[in-house]
């Protein structure tokens, strides 16, 4: 629960977490990978292979005589091997010694899929380190670093997506579509053998127009092998003139290029952090190196791509989960060969091989989206710090609301802090005011004062952003006669009422869905009432209150279709009155120049949550949403509806700012010995029976204290909270229990956890129990 940035500097080795190969000791998982012997050894050749299976082993295989001509293999290449009754694609790690291994009991590999390594040595070491630190099987960790098609054993080819006109394409069909006509003419110039999509985009074509031509049968897309050439980077537009603070930040970052330095760029929303990124990137790109940019949400990727493409004429690729398998492989290959100079992606992009990596940027570094919440529970921000340290390149962490872990590292001198306290263009900070909802009349969930403020802004053709972090129509379906509520049969949660695409009940935790009942199952009353407010219901109310105003709803439901978010973003940039309504998708880094009023409807719950991190996340969300107001030339105003305006943390936040709020929270954490002042691991257990989850955790925690290493210590080094039921005990039909393990010494914590977790994974009592370990957990739900 503390940043791995500290671990980068203390060089924790996580002793004792080295795993074993089948039949022999494995090189430890911190990067000491076996190096293949360049000359064929006498006797059989035994190699080590990492397989995508939930086992903490690397496996030994024989190289058959038929493949000796290809020996030695390159570490990091793929091999097909038999595993039980299946054939799996694994990664060759190196040659094993023959000591203690009986070759006649080993299976032979079937094929070698690659002549060259897909994962360079530096990336293999990083993946071994991540597997060790997060206590996760190395084979599955390595699998996360490969695109789906390569994990499936597809041939590795350097493919590029090309476009050309079809044989029957006629220009006359586009007389009424000028943008498509321009794209048609571009394709006509490159009719044979077609033009690469990247070149067409640089020449002004858009992906949307190409797809429209394809739908009309006028253009076709195909894959073609291409050489991986790197073109010199050129500026598409001149940099903006930075203010003094931006210039100091740019100069400081440039001083640390070509060496590792963790840098926290702590800048207000709208203070020009992106311009600092762009100008810091320029010398890196001009030197022929690559830049990795991580963003928290897919929704931010198009905006970031547009900003970077408008500045640099170079190969820029995006990597996120919404890409097709082919598109993701293309982007990965462009980065892996060095052809892509800028890679922009979400958290998984941190494992993208980049042979000429010169700079890493993590935008909105505080965002919880950078932490993987299931399976391989890594934190992309912390892995990026480790990668920068290993590859000797600076890592910039940018945020208007830095996480407490990063601020703690600044206090310890392990991160360099650069501050931006002025908004770009001298735009004034938005004023924040509270609306006390006690005894306040409301209409559609909006206080009268807020409705009046919205009307004033719309009269001036300004835009309003309303933030409600609850999608759907209503969070509860209630019977007013007997107080029955529609609950999820699989979770300890209410079912949310949805009216699109048809009326139904939906659990946002396990995805259970059902029709709305015609009558109350308890008393047969037919007066079932949707209770509470979701974004869809608020949208209806806003249309009633402001019938002549465009209402742009932004949540997971309204942006699920391809291109929907882009259309909303385009409308928001028109200088015309509108109301933007949405969840936290609206809060993260978007630039809405015409928004002058931001309304936040529900913040009280965030300060009352059982998770000790909840107040921090709530404050970050408030400041991020507030930062959408007044980014243009007009002053901004933020109105927060609350039933508890006297909340001391909320008062500190709005009166003194996020820095004072963070300082207060840090003092509380220090007094309570909570992260970042202690290191922590969260142990989860899930079973169909509530008692079994708690019993299993109690049993494995007893084993932890029974370890010889723990017994030798004079004073118990660990403090354990639990086991207790999870805040939402039943979810998706299973009962969940938690235990928190704290320790002041990170190295000791990992040393004890490493040996113990291997034992836990092999316990016969684990049958029927899904258990996991979450290092530096960010959510306790």
> Which amino acids are annotated as binding site for Zn(2+), given as ranges?
479, 482, 488, 491, 507, 510, 520, 523
Contact 709, 755 (CB under 8 A): yes
Alpha-helix residue ranges (DSSP H) falling in 315-373: 325-336
Q: Are strands 357-363 and 395-399 parallel, antiparallel or unpaired?
A: parallel
Q: CB-side exposure of 618: number of CA atoms within 13 Å?
A: 24
For 624, residues 6+ apart whose C-beta sits below 8 A from its C-beta are: 269, 364, 400, 401, 587, 588, 589
Closest CA to 75 of 144, 128, 24: 128
Distance (Å, rounded) from C-alpha 261 to C-alpha 253?
9
DSSP SS3 for 554 = strand
- Strands of 111-112's sheet, edge to edge? 59-62, 46-50, 86-95, 78-83, 111-112
Distance (Å, rounded) from C-alpha 341 to C-alpha 335?
7
Terminus-to-terminus CA distance in the chain, angstroms?
A: 14
Distance (Å, rounded) from C-alpha 49 to C-alpha 58?
6
Q: What DSSP line would sit under 192-232, residue for residue?
A: TT-EEHHHHHHTT--HHHHHHHHHTTSEEEEEEE-----PP
Distance (Å, rounded) from C-alpha 72 to C-alpha 63?
10
For 274, residues 6+ apart whose C-beta sits below 8 A from its C-beta are: 304, 307, 363
Q: CB-side exposure of 685: number of CA atoms within 13 Å?
A: 29
CB burial of residue 767 (10 Å; 0-12, 13-18, 19+)? exposed
Per residue, the 3-state secondary structure of 462-475, as one string, reads: CEEEEECCCCCCEC
Q: What is the dihedral of CA 193, 199, 201, 204, to 10 degrees?
A: -90
SS3 content of the chain, % helix, strand, coil (to 5): 35, 25, 40
Q: At what angle do helices 614-626 and 658-672 cross, to 10 degrees?
A: 170
What is the CA angle 694-696-698, rounded to 5? 70
Annotated binding-site members: 479, 482, 488, 491, 507, 510, 520, 523
Contact 206, 183 (CB under 8 A): yes
- Radius of gyration for the chain, computed over Cα atoms and rounded to the nearest angstrom: 28
722: how many CB neighbours lie within 10 A of its CB? 17
> CA 401 → CA 610, 620, 689, distances in Å?
22, 6, 41
576-609 b/e with 16+ CB inside 10 Å = b? ebbbbbbbbbbbbbbbbbbbbbbbbbbbbebbee
Return the DSSP state at 14: -
DSSP SS3 for 643 = coil
Distance (Å, rounded) from C-alpha 464 to C-alpha 454?
7
Distance (Å, rounded) from C-alpha 662 to C-alpha 358?
32
Residues in the chain: 781
Distance (Å, rounded) from C-alpha 127 to C-alpha 52?
13
């Amino acid at each position: 629960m503390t940043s791995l940035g500290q671990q980068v500097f203390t060089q924790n080795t996580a002793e004792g977490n080295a795993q074993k190969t089948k039949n022999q000791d494995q090189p430890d998982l911190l990067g000491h990978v076996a190096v293949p012997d360049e000359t064929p050894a006498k006797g059989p050749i035994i190699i080590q292979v990492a397989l995508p299976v939930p086992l903490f082993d690397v496996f030994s295989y024989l190289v058959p005589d038929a493949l000796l001509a290809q020996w030695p293999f390159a570490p990091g290449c793929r091999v097909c091997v038999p595993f039980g009754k299946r054939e799996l694609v694994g990664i060759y790690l190196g040659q094993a010694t023959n000591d203690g291994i009986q070759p006649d009991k080993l299976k032979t590999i079937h094929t070698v899929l690659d002549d060259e390594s897909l994962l360079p040595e530096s990336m293999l070491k990083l993946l071994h380190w991540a597997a060790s630190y997060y206590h996760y099987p190395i084979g599955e960790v390595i699998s996360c670093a490969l695109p789906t098609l390569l994990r499936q054993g597809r041939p590795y080819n350097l493919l590029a997506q090309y476009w050309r006109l079809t044989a029957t394409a006629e220009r006359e069909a586009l007389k009424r579509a000028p943008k498509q006509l321009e794209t048609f003419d571009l394709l006509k110039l490159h009719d044979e053998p077609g033009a690469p999509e990247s070149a067409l985009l640089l020449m002004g074509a858009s992906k949307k127009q190409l797809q429209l031509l394809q739908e009309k049968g006028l253009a076709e897309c195909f894959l073609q092998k291409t050489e991986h050439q790197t073109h010199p980077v050129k500026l598409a537009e001149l940099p903006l003139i930075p203010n003094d603070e931006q210039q100091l930040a740019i100069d400081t970052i440039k001083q640390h290029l070509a060496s590792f330095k963790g840098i926290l760029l702590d800048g207000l929303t709208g203070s020009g952090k992106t311009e600092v990124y762009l100008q810091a990137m320029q010398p890196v790109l001009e030197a022929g190196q690559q830049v990795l940019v991580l963003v928290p949400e897919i929704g931010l990727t198009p905006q970031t791509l547009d900003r970077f493409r408008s500045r640099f004429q170079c190969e820029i690729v995006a990597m996120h989960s919404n890409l097709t398998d082919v598109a993701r492989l293309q982007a990965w290959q462009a980065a892996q060969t060095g052809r892509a100079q800028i890679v922009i992606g979400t958290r998984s992009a941190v494992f993208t091989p980049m042979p000429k990596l010169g700079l890493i940027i993590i935008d909105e570094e505080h965002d919880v989206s950078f932490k993987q919440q299931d399976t391989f529970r890594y934190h992309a921000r912390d892995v990026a710090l480790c990668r920068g340290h290993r590859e000797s390149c600076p890592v910039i962490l940018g945020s208007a609301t830095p996480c407490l872990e990063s601020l703690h590292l600044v206090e310890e001198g392990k991160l360099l802090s650069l501050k931006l306290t002025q908004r770009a263009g001298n735009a004034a900070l938005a004023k924040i005011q509270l609306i006390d909802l006690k005894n306040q009349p409301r209409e559609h969930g909006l206080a009268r004062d807020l409705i009046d403020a919205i009307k004033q802004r719309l009269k001036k053709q300004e835009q309003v952003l309303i933030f409600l972090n609850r999608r759907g129509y209503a969070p509860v379906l209630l019977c007013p006669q007997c107080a029955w509520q529609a609950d999820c049969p699989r979770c300890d949660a209410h079912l949310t009422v949805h009216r699109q695409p048809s009326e139904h009940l939906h659990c946002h935790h396990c995805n259970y869905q059902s029709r709305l009942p015609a009558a109350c199952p308890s008393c047969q009353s037919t007066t079932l009432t949707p209770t509470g407010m979701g974004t869809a219901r608020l949208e209806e109310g806003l249309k009633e209150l402001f019938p002549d105003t465009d209402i742009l709803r932004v949540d997971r439901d309204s942006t699920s279709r391809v291109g929907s978010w882009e259309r909303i973003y385009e409308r928001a940039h028109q200088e015309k009155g509108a109301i933007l309504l949405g969840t936290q998708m609206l809060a993260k880094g978007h630039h809405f120049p015409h928004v002058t009023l931001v309304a936040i409807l529900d913040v009280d719950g965030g300060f009352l949550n059982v998770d000790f991190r909840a107040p921090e996340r709530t404050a970050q969300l408030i400041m991020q949403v507030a930062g959408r107001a007044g980014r243009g030339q007009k002053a901004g105003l933020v109105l927060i509806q609350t039933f508890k305006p006297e909340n001391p943390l909320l008062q500190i936040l709005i009166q003194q700012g996020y820095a004072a709020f963070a300082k207060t929270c840090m003092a509380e954490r220090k007094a309570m010995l909570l992260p970042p002042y202690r290191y922590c691991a969260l142990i989860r257990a899930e079973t169909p029976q509530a008692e079994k989850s708690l019993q299993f955790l109690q049993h494995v925690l007893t084993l932890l204290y029974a370890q010889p290493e723990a017994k030798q210590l004079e004073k118990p080094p660990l403090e354990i909270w639990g086991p207790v039921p999870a805040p939402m005990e039943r979810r998706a039909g299973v009962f969940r229990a938690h235990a928190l393990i704290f320790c002041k010494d990170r190295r000791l914590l990992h040393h004890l956890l490493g040996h113990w977790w291997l034992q836990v994974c092999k316990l016969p009592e684990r049958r029927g129990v899904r258990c996991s370990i979450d290092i530096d957990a960010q959510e306790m739900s």
